[in-house]
Structure formats: C-alpha cells, structure tokens
Structure 1
C-alpha cells in the first residue's frame, strides 16, 4: 500500500469563490486506499461533460471561474485533483509520481464515472496528461479547450522552464502562496493562500516537486505515449477545438501555442488573452464564455 498524507479538512474552510461540494473515490484498481477528490457540478444527466484538468502546482481551485459558466450552459463539470494535489491524498515518496501513475488514474476515473461527450479542458500538466487520453478513449471525447500547454515528447531545456523549475525545486523553503502571486499576479492574497491550502508543510509537496523533474527528464513511457498523442491530434482528431493563449506566459505562451495550433487538426484561430500569464484560468469566465459561444452551446 502506498503511504500518503491527507490534508486536514480545516485547511479548506471558507476558501474564496470555492463553494463546491467534495466528491471522493478510494478504490480504483492499483490506487486502493488512496483517496482522490473531484468536483462534480451540474446535472449528471447533462448531454455535455466538461473535464477540467489542472496543472502544476495547482488544483481544482484553478477552475473556480470556469465551472459556473459551464454549469450555466447546462453542462456537467468534473474537475479532479491529481493525487498529490488539492484535496486528494498525497503519496509521500517522489518515486510514486510518474507520468503513467497520473495518466492511468485519470483513465480509471473517467471509466468509473462513465463520462461521455467530454470536452477536455486543459492547461499545463492538465494538457501534458490530458492530451494523451482521447486517443485511447476516442468515443468518450467530443471537444477540446486548450490553454498554454503541449505534449512532452523530449526533455525541456528552455530558459523560461529552467527558471520555473528552479523556483519550485530549488526554493528553500517553497512558499506556494508567493509562487502563485509571482506567476498569477492578478490574484489577491486570499486567492494565493487558497492555492497553497492543500500543503500545510513541506512533507506534502512530493508531487509538486516531482512534476518539474519529469519535464526536465521524461521517461520512455511518457515520451512514447506523448509521441503517439502527437500523431493522433495531427491526423485523427475530428472534434471541435477552442484555444486560448495567455500572452504573458514566457514558458508555454504564444510560440508554443501557435505551434500546437498547427498540430491539432482543424484548430481555429486562438483567442489571445493579453493580460493572462501561465494560469489562463484566472480569466476563466471570459475564456469559457468564448468557447461555449464558438461551440454553439450558448
């Protein structure tokens, strides 16, 4: 059994703009005893499901501005916290956190909830993982909303990533509230503290510390899976796509996203969000509304 920590519930009391009821699963195959959290808002009988996948070092709090827009449009919204993040349990050992560990967990959760007509909503690691899912579950996925992300097909050595990597891995101590204020400068103190809420101290940070290391040195499973996904999006994807770009992001901003536009078959011209940095979801109500209009859902 994997040893893990569980963030005390009182860390999540009275978070600003996060009124969502928790949902948990703790018996997925291979993850027995690890309690994973997910938001599940809107009608379970809704025609359209919006699967919102967060990245590093965020959690489902990241989607607090998009979830209400999708629900208002009649959708069901599922926003999981990856293991190691948010209200989900946090395995202690960094070696637990592999690309395959997270990807298989998401596949099992989708199957457990029997999600269909999925709009994949992804950014950062939500995309590094999420963009590899539809190729193996094609009948479940219908649309894509993609923001500042890509596919991990080789080690990343770009200077902006190295700076990001060092701000997490080499910080001593790592203050996530400070980190979020640095990379999402439009948020206030309460929001920065909410992002940091899942991590009472450094013993909870193994997942946060591991993600940048994977980007710097992805394993062969990650590279092969992501390469296969690259081919899928270029040649086989036949769903609708909406792209939004946080223009102030030095790491996964305009250059990367215009490249991804060329990769994703049928991807239209992106929405540029001039004031958004890496965490585009901080402008999520505007982005969600634009995507819903493009898809003809409002």
Structure 2
C-alpha cells in the first residue's frame, strides 16, 4: 500500500476558497503516517466550531458557511478526512475502516482543538461526529446535524443500497458529477472541478470508494457495537442539539425526526426541513445552516 499525497497545483484558483492551508501529522496505523489538511479560520481565541464533511466531499463544501460563521464570532475548523481533499490518501480500499477514521479524527481533534467546541456535521461527518459526541459529550458545547445519522444496523433503504453498489462497482466514479447530482441547485463548472481536484486517478479514490460499504446499516457489520454504546451518551446529551435536514435528500429521509426525538438536548429546538435542499446542504442552503449554528451556540451560551 502507498500513502498518496495530493498534487496541490490541482487546487489553485478554486472559487470562493481563499483559505490558508494547515496540516497535522497522523498515525495511520500499521507503520504508516500521513498528513491531515484542515482549515482554521477566525481568531484563535474565538469559540471553535468543528465543520465535518462527509462522502465524497472535502472542506471546499464549507466555503460559503465559513465567512458567515467567522463574522458571527467563531473560529472555524474544517478538516479534510484522510482519503479526501488535500489530506493524504492510502490507496488500498480495505485499509479504510470506521474505527480507523474515528482514530484519525480523534488524533486531529486532540492536537488542534482539545477543548470544548461546537459541532456541525453532515453525512459521514455525522457518523464520526455524533459518535464522538456520544463518547465524550462534555467536549461539545452544542451540535447541529444535517442529513446524517448514527446507524446501528437494521435494514438499509433502497436508495442507500443503490449508492453503495454504485460506489463499489462504477467504472467511472466522478466525484464532481456526484456532488452536482446530489444538490438541489446547480454547481458551476469550476465548482465541479474543485470537487474533482483531490481525485486525479483511481488509486486516489480508494477512500471515497470505501466509505459507503463501511456504514453499519445491516446487522452484523463492524461499528454497530461501538455506535450502540455511543448512543447511550448521545441520547442523554442535554445541551442544545438542532437538526436541519434537506427536503430533497432521498438517502437520509426522516432521520432528522428520529434524531430530534431521541436526543435530550433536541427538545424544544427549532428543527427544520429546508426546501430546495439536497444531500449536500452546505451547497444549497449555506446561510440558513450557518445561522442555525449561531442560534444553537448562543442558546448554549457558547457564543456571545
């Protein structure tokens, strides 16, 4: 197996992405090391908010939300998960596991923002972030979740099964086109190219190919026991917890309602289903999501 490094020339002149690069070295396991890239925008002494992306996107997804959040008084931290964005990419699909992604993200968080933080998470950002909340609720001041869940087996939807099979077997796995198809608004050619930038060839797509098969949506899968244990802490989480889901997302469907009914801190919060909003809600409704984070953090007393 090789750990690939991104060709940073492919990321030049991205639209609305003027952010400085930051890097954290990560122990990937089995004697491998890699670099995790992340954004760190806003004053270093401001209340931090973690912005966790999912599959198959990267921190470019948060380019429209970060200026709104910084103006509101946040320090915004948006990592590129290992295998995505500018971060290093092991080229073996079977090297990626749910637990390894958790460990890699924990290493980054412990090194970069070890104290209390707000959280916004979407897609796999939620499978990782919500589990972190369940395992260490004291480290999170508040949470906003969108188009995500913390699954513990059961029966997956037909839409998810189709996506999982496509990621596994499609001869052409074009990331930019996937983002275009999973938003309710149109992306420009430059934006589509930006989502393609991290993935110049098939070996670089190993992490993106791997993620759908790691979602523990069927009984017996790895991650179910860990998620069930995390749900104990997540359900008892009594700080402000807001769900903002997209009306046009066929995969997550009614999971926002399930989250809002199961988590203590979700009671009485202004949960919403956002119209004209697909799976990648950060593209379709960035201002509404950012405002939701601000409202939730103020309710928590985390943001002035």
Mark yes or no: TM-score above 0.5: yes
Does the alignment pair 1:64 with 2:66?
no
Gaps of 5+ in 2: none
Distance 1:278 1:218 in 2: 25
Contact preservation (8 Å) 2:242, 2:296? yes
* Alignment pair present for 1:286 and 2:288: yes
Q: Specify the SS of the correspondent of 2:223.
A: helix
Q: Which deviates the most, 17-26 or 288-297?
A: 288-297
TM-score (norm 1): 0.92
The 5-angstrom pairing of residues 83-102 of structure 1 reads 83-102=82-101
Distance in 2 between the 1:204 and 1:261 partners? 37
Question: Contact 1:59–1:81 at 8 Å: present in 2 too?
Answer: yes
- Where do 1:72-151 residues align within 5 Å? 72-151=71-150
2:192 aligned partner: 192
Question: Is the 2:141–2:239 contact (alpha carbons within 8 Å) kept by the matching residues of 1?
Answer: yes
CA distance in 2, matches of 1:213, 1:199: 19
* Greater mean deviation of Cα atoms: 23-32 or 154-163: 23-32
Residue segments in structure 1 that go unaligned for 5+ positions in a row: none
Residues 226-247 of structure 1, C-alpha deviation per residue, up to 9 Å, x if partnerless? 111222222x212111210101
State whether residues 152 and 218 of structure 1, in contact with CA within 8 Å, keep that contact through their aligned partners in structure 2.
Answer: no
Query: Could you say what secondary structure the match of 2:131 adopts?
Result: coil
Q: What secondary structure does 1:166 align onto? A: helix
Q: Does 1:40 align with 2:40?
A: yes
- Counterpart check, 1:49 vs 2:48: yes
Residues 137-193 of structure 1: CA deviation (Å, up to 9, x unaligned): 333211001001001211653111022223322221111122111112412221111
Q: Contact 1:121–1:145 at 8 Å: present in 2 too?
A: yes
**C-alpha distance in 2 between matches for 1:136 and 1:65:** 30
**Are the equivalent residues in 1 in contact too, given 2:135–2:230 (CA < 8 A)?**
no
Which 10-residue stretch deviates more, 97-106 or 62-71?
62-71
Contact 1:49 1:115 in 2 (8 A): no
Take 1:293 and 1:176, find their aligned partners in 2: how far apart are those partners?
33
Superposition map of 1:248-267 within 5 A: 248-253=248-253, 255-267=254-266
Matched, 1:237 2:237: yes
Q: Is the 8 A contact 1:230 1:263 kept in 2?
A: no
Map of 2:207 onto structure 1 = 207
Please tell me whether the aligned partners of residues 26 and 36 of structure 2 are also in contact (alpha carbons under 8 angstroms): no
Taking structure 2 as the reference length, the TM-score comes to 0.90
Distance 2:97 2:220 in 1: 8
1:178–1:221 distance in 2 versus 1, CA, 3 Å:
closer
Q: After TM superposition, give the deviation of residue 219 of structure 1 in Å.
A: 6.6
CA RMSD of aligned residues (A): 1.9
Single out whichever of 86-95 and 286-295 deviates more from structure 2. 286-295
